[in-house]
């Protein structure tokens, strides 16, 4: 079950459905699976116990209930006697199609080994199934034993097919042989066979089973010690036990049913986990993403439905229920989230709908307002509705904070210019070196010239044709970057001209003036818990109009010295109010995100890769311009080299003749 849990985690699935036989064999195994999955933040979302003597109808009804569940990762742990019937009924219910994943425990590989003709007979029923098989390394001893087994069973063919040798047969043979070696050691140490009566069984005297007549082997502990001490090699490979009585480094093959046969896609051991190579071989290392070295742990899989694309592992439950997406019913800043009757509008709603349109599958949902519309609802209470199952998600101006990530899972948040002149300067230095003495001399002088020329291109013109070609493109790039820089600088200088005794959050926190904050947001708790601002100084405000009035009144007239609010709200506030300004630097890096229940797959799929710094102008914004400039530099260098080569071959014969004639005269 540890190997099964590693498989689930390797493919990044989180929920599985366990179909198992309802007895100690099945229940204990599924309990162990649940523990191992929990260690990897995975879980069994639905359990399907089957009667050990389940009928066809019982199997069908159980599978029908499974087909309506969200998870499509099915773990099948049952008996070999009727395991294939479950897969047959699953195929009849279209549950062996694309999107499903079937992981069968080692009962399935036992059937395949026992009946070699099975894949040819039931290929459609088991196509794409993953299973585990106890790993036994190839050896000369194992090869000879298989040959003997084949000779013994060839005369006992049933319906023209031989009885295959499965891994349990190899373990059984080694167990008997191992016990024989242990008995030799036991007798060599002076052990003998003797039995005694167990006094604890006297209470059972007189029963029909005569349990009081049972005897206890006196040398049991010595024989057990001899068994644990045996260190040998058998058909299954090295046999050695740890102090707990378990085999050292047990391993499995991971097998995929493909076409009319099977294929080993990797191995698992408790020492190396999943790997491409058997445990006895050193683990290979491959380049991952071309930068860091990682380990490729499994080969590709052909999944049910004849697809090589890894199944998503879940679907929306087929019960007709739409996802209930909570939306805060705000009374202010409706530009972000607005509710008018049954219509939901605003920036956050538009981003959410745009994200849904990018998903490769449909998401049935409906918006549900939260709040009375008379005051802004508490976001903490809104997220709590996800915890108790009232909402399947929340969309709105919800800030991602550490405390909130302990309640729910968030999507990626959905809410620097630099200039590099050296490349163009180097290219121009190559083009000018032969014709311009300024680009000659020692390396130090040439480096200074390159730097100076890079900045002088902003002011001086050039005459050489190739230089013009490069510099026209480069000046075009510089013009755009310069315009962007000028706009940003102007904005910064304008803000700084608006004087204020408050220089930032530090001066505000250390003072005594009242501070305004939006009621219902995380800001109030942040100011008291993180910045140690006294709660008596905090003034909750409900709307932009209250912000404006409190700022206008000031701390001396019952107002506030400043309002601490998130950037998006402040920019919207300032867009129509010019008498106020933002001071200081941002002191948190929190963003807005859509909230979903813990471990929800939608939290990963929606808004994945969203830009976190939408208010900045990063260097990558100009990548197209730099590519254009680089192309111009390359073409100019290429033409320059061609001209040099042409001049060399044109002038070389005459120069050689002149040199020879001069030598003759001498």
pLDDT for 344 equals: 93
Task: Specify the DSSP class assigned to residue 619.
Answer: G
Distance CA 137, CA 236 (A): 7
Distance CA 16, CA 511 (A): 55
Q: Is the pLDDT of residue 24 over 70?
A: yes
Q: Mean per-residue pLDDT for 18-43?
A: 94
453: tokens are: 């020329």
User: Residues 574-607: pLDDT tens digits?
Assistant: 787 777 777 777 776 678 888 888 878 788 777 7
Q: Mean per-residue pLDDT for 170-184?
A: 92
Strands 215-217 and 130-134: unpaired
The share of the chain scoring above pLDDT 90, in percent, equals: 26
- Length reported for the chain: 666
Residue with tokens 């019952």: 558
Q: Cα dihedral angle (90, 95, 101, 106), rounded to 10 degrees?
A: 10
User: Residues 309-329: pLDDT tens digits?
Assistant: 999 998 887 666 788 999 999
Cα separations in angstroms, 257 against 264, 349, 418, 498, 607: 9, 45, 54, 72, 36
Lowest mean pLDDT among 16-30, 88-102, 176-190, 392-406: 392-406
Strands 365-370 and 323-328: parallel
Contact 167, 134 (CB under 8 A): yes
pLDDT for 554 equals: 84
User: HEC profile for 84-114?
Assistant: HHHHHHHHHCCCCCCCCEEEECCHHHHHHHH
pLDDT for 420 equals: 44
pTM: 0.64
Give every CB contact of residue 493 below 8 A, 6+ residues apart in sequence: none
Run of H or E residues at 343: strand 343-345
Q: Is the pLDDT of residue 23 over 60?
A: yes
90: tokens are: 């699953």
Distance CA 323, CA 321 (A): 7
**Measured distance between the N- and C-terminal CA atoms of the chain, rounded to whole angstroms:** 96
Question: Which of 467, 469, 475, 474 has its CA nearest to residue 432?
Answer: 467
pLDDT for 456 equals: 53
Distance CA 80, CA 74 (A): 17
Strands 101-104 and 130-134: parallel
**Residue 344, strand partner residues:** 339
Output the DSSP codes for 597-647.
STT-HHHHHTTTT--S-TTS--GGGGHHHHHHHHHHHHHHHHHHHHHHHHH
Helix axes 465-497, 422-432, angle to 10 degrees: 150
Q: Mean per-residue pLDDT for 620-631?
A: 69
What confidence category does residue 465 fall into, taking pLDDT thresholds of 50, 70 and 90?
A: low
Cα separations in angstroms, 246 against 59, 224, 270: 35, 13, 12
Q: Is the pLDDT of residue 615 over 50?
A: no
565: tokens are: 């609010």
Give every CB contact of residue 545 below 8 A, 6+ residues apart in sequence: none
Helix axes 56-67, 83-92, angle to 10 degrees: 50
- 494-502 long-range contacts, Cβ below 8 Å, gap at least 24? 495/581, 495/582, 495/583, 498/581, 500/581, 500/583, 502/561, 502/562, 502/583, 502/584
Q: Is the pLDDT of residue 653 over 60?
A: no
Q: Is the pLDDT of residue 666 over 60?
A: no
204: tokens are: 């059972």
Distance CA 345, CA 417 (A): 33
Cα separations in angstroms, 265 against 130, 309, 624: 9, 15, 43
pLDDT for 609 equals: 41
Give every CB contact of residue 548 below 8 A, 6+ residues apart in sequence: 573, 577, 580
Q: Mean per-residue pLDDT for 478-496?
A: 65
Cα separations in angstroms, 377 against 127, 365, 397, 398: 52, 22, 11, 11
pLDDT for 665 equals: 46
pLDDT for 424 equals: 44
User: Residues 367-407: pLDDT tens digits?
Assistant: 999 988 888 888 888 999 999 989 999 998 888 888 888 88
pLDDT for 422 equals: 41
Instruction: Name the residue with higher pLDDT: 163 or 562.
Output: 562
């Amino acid at each position: 079950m540890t190997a099964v849990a590693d498989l689930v985690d390797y493919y990044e699935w989180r929920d599985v459905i366990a179909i198992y036989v309802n007895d100690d064999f099945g229940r204990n195994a599924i309990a162990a699976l649940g523990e191992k999955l929990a260690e990897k933040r995975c879980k069994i979302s639905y359990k399907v116990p089957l009667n050990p003597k389940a009928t066809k109808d019982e199997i069908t009804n159980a599978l029908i209930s499974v087909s309506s569940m969200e998870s499509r990762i099915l773990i099948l742990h049952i008996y070999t006697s009727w395991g294939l019937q479950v897969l047959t009924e699953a195929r009849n219910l279209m549950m062996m199609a694309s999107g499903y994943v079937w992981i069968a425990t080692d009962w399935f590989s036992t059937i395949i080994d026992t009946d070699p003709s099975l894949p040819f007979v039931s290929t459609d029923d088991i196509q794409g199934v993953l299973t585990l098989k106890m790993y036994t390394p190839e050896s000369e001893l194992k090869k000879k034993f298989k040959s003997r087994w084949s000779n013994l069973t060839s005369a006992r063919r049933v319906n023209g097919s031989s009885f295959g040798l499965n891994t349990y047969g190899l373990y059984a043979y080694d167990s008997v042989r191992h016990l024989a070696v242990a008995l030799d050691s036991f007798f060599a140490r002076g052990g003998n066979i003797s039995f005694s009566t167990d006094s604890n069984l006297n209470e059972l005297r007189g029963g029909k089973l005569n349990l009081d007549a049972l005897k206890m082997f006196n040398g049991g502990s010595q024989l057990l010690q001899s068994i644990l001490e045996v260190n040998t090699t058998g058909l299954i490979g090295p046999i050695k036990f740890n102090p707990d009585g378990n085999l050292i480094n047990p391993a499995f093959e991971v097998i995929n049913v493909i076409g009319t046969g099977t294929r080993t896609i990797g191995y698992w051991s408790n020492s190396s986990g999943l790997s491409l190579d058997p445990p006895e071989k050193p683990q290979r290392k491959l380049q991952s993403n071309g930068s860091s070295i990682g380990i490729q742990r499994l080969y590709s899989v052909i999944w049910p439905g004849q697809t090589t694309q890894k199944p998503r592992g879940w679907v929306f439950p087929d019960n007709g229920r739409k996802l209930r997406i909570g939306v805060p019913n705000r009374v202010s800043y409706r530009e972000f989230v607005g509710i008018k009757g049954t219509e939901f509008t605003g920036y956050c709603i538009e981003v959410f709908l745009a994200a849904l349109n990018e998903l490769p599958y449909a998401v049935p949902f409906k918006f549900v307002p939260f709040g009375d519309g008379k005051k802004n609802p508490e976001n903490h209470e809104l997220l709590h509705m996800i915890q108790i199952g009232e909402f399947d998600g929340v969309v709105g101006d919800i800030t991602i904070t550490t405390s909130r990530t302990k309640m729910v899972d968030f999507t990626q948040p959905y809410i620097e210019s630099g200039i590099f002149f050296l490349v163009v300067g180097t290219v121009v230095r190559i083009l000018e070196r032969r014709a311009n003495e300024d680009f000659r001399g020692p390396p130090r002088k040439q480096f200074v010239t390159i730097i100076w020329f890079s900045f002088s291109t902003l002011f001086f013109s050039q005459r050489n044709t190739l230089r013009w070609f490069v510099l026209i493109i480069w000046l075009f790039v510089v013009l755009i970057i310069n315009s962007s820089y000028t706009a940003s600088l102007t904005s910064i200088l304008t803000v700084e001209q608006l004087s204020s005794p408050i220089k930032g959050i530090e001066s505000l926190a250390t003072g005594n003036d009242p501070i305004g904050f939006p009621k219902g947001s995380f800001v109030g708790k942040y100011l008291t818990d993180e910045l140690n601002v006294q709660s008596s100084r905090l003034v909750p405000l409900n709307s932009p109009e209250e912000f404006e009035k409190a700022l206008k009144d000031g701390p001396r007239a019952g107002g506030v010295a400043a309002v601490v609010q998130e950037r998006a709200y402040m920019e919207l506030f300032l867009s129509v109010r010019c008498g106020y300004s933002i001071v200081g630097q941002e002191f948190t890096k929190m963003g807005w995100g859509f909230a979903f229940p813990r471990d929800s797959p939608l939290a990963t799929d929606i808004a994945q890769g969203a830009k976190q710094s939408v208010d900045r102008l990063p260097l990558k914004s100009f990548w197209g311009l730099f590519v254009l400039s680089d192309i111009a530099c390359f073409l100019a260098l290429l033409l320059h080299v061609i001209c040099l080569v042409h001049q060399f071959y044109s002038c070389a014969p005459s120069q050689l003749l002149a040199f020879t004639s001069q030598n003759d005269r001498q």
